[in-house]
Amino acid sequence: MRDNSYGHQLKVLLVLVMVSGVVQAALWRLLYPLDYYDLSAPHAVRCGFDPLLIAAVMRAESGFDPRAVSPRGAVGLMQLMPETASWVARQLGMGEVTRDDLFDPSINVQLGIWYLAHLRDSFGGDLVLTLAAYNAGQTRVRRWVSQRDEELVEAEDLPWSETRRYVRQVLDDYVIYRRLYRSVPWPPGRRGT
């Protein structure tokens, strides 16, 4: 007579592996949430971004805290400087925005994503330079690029340690977001690039 306990143990082990995978995925999603996804995704797609990249930027910038204020005065989810936000609002024909307006996620996200797209276009689509300019300022990055002989730029090439860390964080987080949420399209059946 054959002992079925081995088969039972194997089934229990398989169930535990599957449950631990589900629990592990849930924990990862707690660490990498999609807060404000419904708000940010339409703007991301309209500006030619994968909404998951924008989630990675918001995670790095503010940890999804719409009331976040940096030591340098950047405000809200996308951590916009009030002067930059005012310039972007004028470009979009929105009129003047105040610092307090930047605590409104709908305003902050729209302005931040448009500004990120502006930087991407200014830097020929180079994502490393785009993110570096978002963090360190476009004038600073443009000056640094003009002094280089090489065209390709990696995050490790950036001369500012804070900006290097920021760019690496956003790019690493973006990879994680894509693995965790690859089945979350926006709009349904389509994804930004």
Q: Which residues are marked as active site?
A: 61
CA-to-CA distance for 84 and 99, rounded, in angstroms?
11
- What DSSP letter does each residue of 162-173 carry, written as one string? HHHHHHHHHHHH
CA-to-CA distance for 188 and 21, rounded, in angstroms?
26
Cβ proximity of 41 and 186 under 8 Å: yes
DSSP H helices in 32-103 = 37-46, 51-62, 82-91
Cβ proximity of 141 and 123 under 8 Å: yes
Q: Which residues pair with 69 in a beta bridge?
A: 75
3-state secondary structure of 21: helix
Q: Which helix (H) or strand (E) holds 72?
A: none
Collect all residues with Cβ–Cβ distance below 8 Å to 180 and sequence separation of at least 6: 25, 28, 29, 32
Separation of CA 37 from chain center: 11
